[in-house]
Structures are given as structure tokens and as C-alpha cells.
Structure 1
Amino acid sequence: MIIYKIFRFDSAHYLPNVPADHKCGGMHGHTYTLKIFISGKPSIYTGWIMDFSDLKDIVKPWIALLDHQVLNNVEGLENPTSENLCLWLWKKIKAEIPNLCRIELNETPDSGVIYEG
């Protein structure tokens, strides 16, 4: 079984490794949507795979580090493509939630990246 929780944050960035005339080379922002998926068997006692409140407590500090920030200034995100941001989040969250099985990161409602480890 898989549970999920959705988080949203707003950040600015620019992509330093695109051609000089590419529009993403200039500073711009996104309202990101992050969906965290956790797999497991529900506890016989609680009926939960994980308490959503515990999940929120683990993820929120990472979101707070990104929200209303320039992603290029975040350590490890010097080239903050959606792919690199997704991998960065995966490493941070996976360290605290071993049964993390998937994350989805959308930079717009129509485009994003999925990572499953």
C-alpha cells in the first residue's frame, strides 16, 4: 500500500547551464508542488503506514529551506533544474523515511519530474 502527502512552495531560480538566449537562464519563479509517496503495510495497532503528521514534520523543514528562496543559493542546488531539485529532496527525505518510494515534483501544473530511487 502507498500513502502520499502534497506540499507546495514558491521559489525563484535561474539555470546557469542553458544557452545565453534561453528564457530559463534569467531569474524566474515557480509554485512547486511536491508529492511524497510512502510504501508499507498498515500497522495492526494504528491502521497507518505512517502518521501524516509525522510525515509533515519530517518534510516541512526542507520545504521551509526552499520556500521563497533563490534555489541557486541553496547548498547543493547550484544548477536547480527540476531533476536536480527532485534528487536533492529525495536524498534529504529518504535519510529520514527509509520506505520513501516515490516523489513527484511539478514546477507548473503541466510539467514535472518523478523519481523512484
Structure 2
Amino acid sequence: MFRISKEFHFSASHQLAHLPDDHQCARLHGHNYIVVVELAAAELNADGFVRDYHELKPLKSYIDDHFDHRHLNDLLNVPSTAENLAKHFYDWCKSRWSEVAMVKVSETPKTWAEYRP
């Protein structure tokens, strides 16, 4: 299996207000997010790619236009956790590129949440 990945960045605020008041994530705060999308294929295309990285530019535009410097609670219908963001971006990507195998999201340099079916 061939695998490629590409990394995208954005900054946003959120609040997990359903958590207890003494939980740090219950307060309004922000992160510098990293989103990594991984694509996989058993065979390479005629150009020798899983998919040309340039074809992933719509994800950058989507993130820049809809997520960067926004309040995530206003954008998602589920709690704005890294896990739910990973699933959201996976679904968005999979609807465009059949090779999408996984998306992971980082909120901090030491934490990652991943979604893969």
C-alpha cells in the first residue's frame, strides 16, 4: 500500500462548556491546530502518484475560509473536540478523494486525535 500525507494549519477558539466549570477546556480558549490528511492506494496512478498533492488545495481553501481565526462552537453541530474535528475533516475529504484513509488533528504539540474508519 502506498501512503501520502499533507499537513494543514489553522488557529481557532473553542469552548467545551458541557465540561465541569473547573475543567480548563470549559473556559474559552484557542489552539494552533494541525490537520494531517493521509491518502492510500494499492496502485499508483499514471503519473506515479497516490494523488497529486496539488489536488489537495481545496482542503487548504476550506480550512482557510471556514475555520481559520473562527470560533469552532459556531461551526460544528457537535462538541468542538479534536476527535470531532478529525471526523469532520475526514468526511469532507472522503467525499472528494476516494483515497482518503485517515485524518488526524493536533491541538497542542503533544496531543493528537485521529479518525480512520
Question: TM-score, normalization: structure 2?
Answer: 0.91
Structure 1 residue runs without a partner (length 5+): none
Q: 1:114–1:75: structure 2 CA closer, same or farther, 3 Å change rule?
A: closer
Q: Which amino acid aligns with 1:55?
A: L
In the alignment, the residues of structure 2 paired with residue 21 and residue 35 of structure 1 have an alpha-carbon distance, to the nearest angstrom, of 31
Q: Where does 1:79-90 land on structure 2 (aligned, <5 Å)?
A: 79-90=79-90
Secondary structure, aligned partner of 1:87: helix
Structure 2 match to 1:42: 44
Q: Aligned with 1:85: secondary structure?
A: helix
Unaligned runs of 5+ in 2: none
Q: Give the aligned length.
A: 114
Q: TM-score, normalised by structure 1?
A: 0.91
Shift of 1:47: 1.0
| 8 Å Cα contact 1:82-1:105 kept in structure 2 | yes
Q: Which runs of 4+ in 1 moved over 2 A?
A: none
Whether the 8 Å CA contact 2:8–2:36 is kept in 1: the answer is yes
CA shift in 2, pair 1:105/1:75, >3 Å? closer
Say if 1:76 and 1:88, in contact at 8 Å, map to a contact too: no
